[in-house]
Structure 1
Amino acid sequence: MEVYLQRLKGMLDSKRYAHSLRVMDTAVRLAGIYGADREKAAVAGLLHDCARDMPGERLLALARQHALEITEVEEILPVLLHAPVGALMARLEFGVHNIAVLRAISRHTLGGVSMSLLDKIVFVADKVEPGRRFPGVQKLREEAEQNLDRTLLRCFDMAINLSVQKGEPVHPLTVMARNQLIFAVEVSEKKFASIEF
């Protein structure tokens, strides 16, 4: 882990590096609560933003060079590519080969369909880490320790609302992830609500 820390420190500005440390710690804590692999959560949380400080042109160039899918939304907002390019960098620059870790890094910004527990943990940890300051974040932090899927759903809602407010396109991956999750959450909650005690 020390090698990762030193290399990452040279890639990010001090604020982004501090954010990455907080996401790592938050991901490890959530992994403990939900029974996920803490070591994988630590690596994915630490490296999730390793490509975040790259300019948009560089993100697009790397995505093209390595045949990553680029949507129309990412052509307009190349910063969204920092997640899949980050997974690429985690593999090439940090030597991470665990598929679950790489996938969690690649999905931490937009989400995706059939998200794994680790995917969800890293996504939520990025939004609720202690340095985040936005209305409702404390409630979101508390909920993250009680119901991960419900918290993830709220995160998707906030991301979509923010895109709408800014007049930006909403990425279809986030919409698909939200739709799949909302059906799963509703079915789960109705299932438990129907149990008589």
Structure 2
Amino acid sequence: MNRKDLAEAVRQELPKTRWEHTLRVVDTALELADRFGADREKVDLAALLHDFCKFWPEKRMEKVIRDRDLPRDLLEHNVELWHAFVGAEAVRDRFGIEDGEILDAIRYHTSGRPHMSLLDKIILLADYIEPGRKFPGVEEVRQLAREDLDKAVLKSLDNTLVFLIHRGQKVYPLTLAARNDMVDRVRQPRSKEESL
């Protein structure tokens, strides 16, 4: 399937506002790809497909989670996480996409994960900072994304954790693990004086 047909298939799955979000994520992701040296074709595809299942009914997504033996703990957490894991399965089935990097970037764009690839980080971050996003802290993440991808991803994960905690929601363990891994990645070596 060519890119135009893929885009049309995604557009048909989404309400107009979410399709517009997807287009902004693609643009943002390609800017990040250019800035940080990622494969533009993979970035484009992952960004285009990242929300393919976002508006599927919960029962449909739950069935995929159960039938495909996806992590069952997803069902104990916010439904907002489900579409990413289900989406990776759906785009493989519907469009024949077998590239593991693209599928992982779709799968983890909401939760994050430890040891994220460059593509994972770009899709997660593009989804978070695309120009239509308006919430406290997003501008700081946008600023960081101009200079340091890892610091921007870490700040986005920090913000997500604070948001969930303030709303009294559970934190998906993979998101906490992703955040801890990013802390290790951005931590500056301590000076001898600090370690005494």
Q: Same fold (TM over 0.5)?
A: yes
TM-score normalised over the length of structure 2: 0.92
Worse overlay, 129-138 or 38-47: 129-138
SS at match of 2:5: helix
Shift of 1:76: 4.1
Q: CA RMSD in A?
A: 1.5
SS in 1 for 2:95: coil
Q: Which runs of 5+ in 2 are unaligned?
A: none
Distance 2:17 2:4 in 1: 19
Is the contact between residue 105 and residue 122 of structure 1 (CA under 8 Å) also seen in structure 2? Answer: yes
Deviation at 1:136, TM superposition (A): 2.8
Identity %: 39
Give, as a single letter, the amino acid of the residue that structure 1 aligns with 2:161.
Answer: I
Residues 60 and 78, structure 1, Cα contact 8 Å, conserved in 2: no
Q: Aligned partners of 1:153, 1:17: CA distance in 2, in Å? A: 27
- How far 1:172 sits from its partner (Å)? 0.5
Which AA in structure 1 matches 2:24? R
1:154-165 counterparts in 2 under 5 A? 154-165=155-166
**Correspondence for 2:84:** 83
Is residue 60 of structure 2 the alignment partner of residue 58 of structure 1? yes
Which residue in the other structure is 1:115 paired with? 116
Q: Report if aligned partners of 2:49, 2:91 keep a CA contact under 8 Å in 1.
A: yes
TM-score between both structures, scaled by the size of structure 1: 0.91
Any idea what SS the aligned residue of 2:72 has?
Answer: coil
Q: Is contact 2:25–2:127 with CA below 8 Å preserved after alignment?
A: yes
2:32 is aligned with 1:25: no
Deviations 1:32-91 (A, max 9, x none): 1100101100100111010111122221111111111120x5334233111010111111
Deviation at 1:119, TM superposition (A): 0.3
**2:99 corresponds to:** 98
Does structure 2 retain, via aligned residues, the 8 Å contact 1:57–1:78? Answer: no
Q: Distance in 1 between matches of 2:121 and 2:28?
A: 12
Query: What count of residue pairs does the alignment treat as equivalent?
Result: 190
